[in-house]
Structure formats: C-alpha cells, structure tokens
C-alpha cells in the first residue's frame, strides 16, 4: 500500500501520477513535477491518498512551487502564446495547408517546438527560417496525425465525457471495424468515429468484455427459462450483464440477469445449490438414502446405525446400485466408500487400512473412487 497523487499541466488535460513524497498538497495547489528538462509547475488535481496496490517507479513530487517558479511558468506561457500567434500568421502568409495544434517552449535551451497537422507532407523550410527570425530562437516543426491532434487539443466525445486519449490513455492501439460488429454497433462512420475522425478507442479496450459475455450468455434466439416463465432471447445488454427475453405466454419482454438464464449456472444451482437431492430424500446419518414417501426398507431403520455394524449386526459393506447414495459405517453422505475385495460377503475395510489402497466398491476397478450417486468420475 502506498500514496499517490495526480497533477495536470493544463486545465482539463492529461493526468500524471506522482508519489507525493513528504508533502500533502490540496486540490488546486501548484507543485513541481520532475521532467526531462527540469522541474515544471503543475496543478494538483487529486490530493494524496492511499491505494491498495503496490505502486513503484512513480516520479516523486519535488515540493510546492515558489514565487520564482510561478513567475517563470507564467513567462513561458506568454512565450508559447506568442509563438502560436506568429506561427499562424506566417503559415497564412506562405499559403501552406498547415494547422497549428500546440506549441512547446524550453526556456533553458530557448527552443520552440511547433506541432501541426496537414493532409500530406509539406515543404516548410522557408517557414522555419521566418519563424526563427521572428521568435529569435531555434524552432522545430513536427507533423502529427489526427489522433495526436485530438489528444493535444482535448474535447468531449460522443459519450458526453472527456476524450479518453486526453485523460488516461497512454498509447494508441489498432482498432478494427470487426470490433464494432461484435459490440452490435451499426457500421456507420458517424456512429463509431471519435473526435479525431478515426474509430473510437473505446472499441478496443471494451472488446474483451463483450467477448467474455458472449462466451457464457445464451445466444439470440435460444430458448431459456426465466423466473417469469419460458421465453426466447432477443437481445443482450453487456454493460448491465443482462439479456432481453421475450416471454412465450404473454409476448412481453423482460430483462433478466445473465446468471438467471445461463444453463451452466442453473445446472450448478440445481446440483449444489438450494435444490439439492436432499429435499426429496430422507438420508440418515449413517444409513442409505430412503425416499420420504416410501416406508423404510427391511433391515434399514430410520435411526442412525452404530458405527462398525451394518443391518442386523452384520459387517458394514458398501452398497451400490440405483438406490442413490452410498453409505458405510461411520461415513457421511456423498463420501467415497472402500471395500477389500471383489468376493461377495467380504467385510468392507477403510482405505487407510490397506497399504497404498484407494477407495473402491465391489465389482469396480481398483483405485477408482465411487461417488455418492453411484457413478464413476475421474478425479
């Protein structure tokens, strides 16, 4: 467990996580963030707080920003705004198809970096000379793509939230139209494109959630049993982990949780949940299962059988067949039962009494356990 805080260099910009070190800034305080070119002033967005995960390798906050740091940061902001205005004016004068996106300035080296977007490659050699002459500094021009342009400018996405690339996404991963089809989205560029004009990044990191849902949920058109009656699946709702079912009797549509209509889940609950076979069977502690609606068989009293003895004082032997649960002397229901040999009439012995022996029943193969329902299962 460690402490973590988040800062941003611009209002509503990308969040950067730091180790607060020995300070406790509040929201809105100016702090120093270590960078490649020295400490820079940033605003605290999240105050220091404990997190359960072990976080290592985070840069350590270098303390609160002083008046000198704030004055230097304000001067750099004015220089960046001036460079952006001069760049736009000179681009228009040269008639180049360029759009200035952002400008960065390093006061220690007196270097301006101008980020621009263009539909194709641009010859800006004359523009660079004019910019260096007007700004009295070294100028670098870097062309970026549509996604980087949206990340630097920021904005609101189709979902109504801030752009993912401008807040928390670090790298751009490839996105395919197939992902939109798997998420039941219309293959319409206006519906699946982001602010950059490319496919939305959320299609990529939400795709595994839809794949996991489809592997376990019943497909569309499957007949299922719901708490309100049988019906047919007509749709999925992955964010809420539910399916839409049209009831056979009334034709009404209802939304059911995936677990309530999942076949494997219902089988598990029927076998191990509330609907156990014990509801329909009366099982003595040390005797075989006897149906409640039938009288007990001869030699099998309702009460417990003393340990070490079977019916009528005979040695306890494993019982197999179609009467349900196997029971042995002193054993619980659904326990594996062992017998010594295949010859009838030989008394049953615990598996621990036989060196290297394993539980088996008469007529079964050696070393194979017998389950409570009389069937063999490989463990």
- Encode pLDDT of 331-344 as tens digits: 444 444 343 344 44
**Mean pLDDT of the residues in the chain:** 74
In the chain, residues under CATH classification 2.30.30 are 217-272
Q: What is the average pLDDT across 154-183? A: 86
Q: What is the average pLDDT across 268-276? A: 55
**Comparison of pLDDT for 358 and 117, the residue scoring more:** 117
Confidence of residue 69 (pLDDT cuts 50, 70, 90): very high
SS3 state of residue 6: strand
Structure confidence at residue 263 (pLDDT)? 58
- Global pTM reads 0.57
Percent of the chain with pLDDT over 90: 21
Confidence of residue 262 (pLDDT cuts 50, 70, 90): low
pLDDT over 50 at 135, yes or no: yes
Q: Which of 82, 81, 64 has the alpha carbon at shortest distance from 20?
A: 64
**Which tokens is 35 given?**
């960078």
Q: Give the CATH H-level superfamily of domain 70-144.
A: K homology (KH) domain (3.30.300.20)
Structure confidence at residue 71 (pLDDT)? 93
Question: Can you tell me the distance from the alpha carbon of 173 to that of 187, in angstroms, rounded to the nearest whole number?
Answer: 20
CB atoms within 10 A of CB 87: 23
- In this predicted model, what pLDDT tens digit does every residue of 293-323 receive, in sequence order? 444 444 444 444 444 444 444 443 333 443 4
- In this predicted model, what pLDDT tens digit does every residue of 30-62 receive, in sequence order? 999 988 888 899 999 988 888 877 777 888 998
Domain 217-272 has CATH 2.30.30: yes
In the chain, residues under CATH classification 3.30.300.20 are 70-144
Structure confidence at residue 98 (pLDDT)? 92
pLDDT over 50 at 231, yes or no: yes
Give helix 125-135 / helix 67-94 axis angle, nearest 10°: 140
Cβ–Cβ < 8 Å for 7, 42: yes
- Cα distances from 238 to residues 60, 193, 199, 266, in angstroms, run 40, 20, 20, 20
């Amino acid at each position: 467990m460690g402490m973590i805080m988040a800062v941003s260099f611009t209002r509503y910009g990308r969040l950067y996580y730091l180790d607060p070190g020995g300070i406790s800034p509040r929201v809105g305080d100016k702090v120093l963030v270590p960078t490649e070119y020295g400490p820079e002033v940033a605003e605290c967005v999240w105050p220091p707080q404990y997190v359960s995960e072990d976080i290592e390798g985070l840069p350590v906050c270098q303390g609160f920003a002083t008046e000198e740091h704030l004055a230097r940061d304000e001067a750099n902001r004015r220089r960046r705004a001036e460079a952006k205005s001069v760049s736009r004016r000179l681009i228009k004068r040269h008639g180049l198809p360029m759009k200035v996106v952002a400008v960065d300035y390093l006061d220690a080296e007196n270097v301006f970096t101008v980020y621009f977007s263009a539909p194709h490659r641009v010859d800006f050699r004359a523009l660079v000379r004019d910019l260096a002459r007007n700004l009295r500094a070294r100028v670098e021009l870097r062309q970026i793509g549509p996604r980087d342009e949206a990340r630097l400018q920021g904005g609101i996405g189709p979902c109504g939230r801030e752009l993912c690339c401008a807040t928390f996404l670090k790298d751009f991963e490839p996105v395919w139209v197939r992902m939109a089809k798997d998420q039941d989205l219309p293959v319409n560029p206006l519906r699946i494109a982001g602010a950059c004009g490319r496919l939305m990044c959320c299609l990529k990191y939400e795709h595994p959630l839809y794949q996991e849902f489809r592997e376990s949920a019943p497909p569309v058109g499957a007949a299922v049993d719901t708490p309100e009656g049988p019906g047919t699946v007509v749709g999925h709702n992955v964010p809420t982990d539910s399916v839409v079912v049209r009831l056979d009797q009334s034709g009404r549509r209802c939304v059911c949780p995936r677990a309530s209509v999942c076949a494997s889940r219902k089988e598990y609950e029927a076998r191990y949940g509330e609907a156990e076979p014990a509801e329909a069977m009366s099982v003595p502690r040390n005797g075989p299962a006897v149906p409640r609606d039938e009288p007990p068989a001869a030699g099998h009293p309702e009460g417990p059988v003393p340990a070490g003895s079977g019916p009528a004082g005979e040695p306890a032997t494993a019982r197999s067949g179609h009467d349900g649960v196997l029971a042995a002397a002193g054993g619980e229901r659904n326990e594996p039962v062992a017998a010594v040999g295949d010859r009838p009439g030989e008394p049953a012995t615990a598996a621990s009494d036989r060196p290297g022996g394993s539980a088996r029943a008469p007529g079964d193969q050696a070393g194979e356990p017998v389950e409570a329902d009389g069937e063999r299962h490989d463990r």
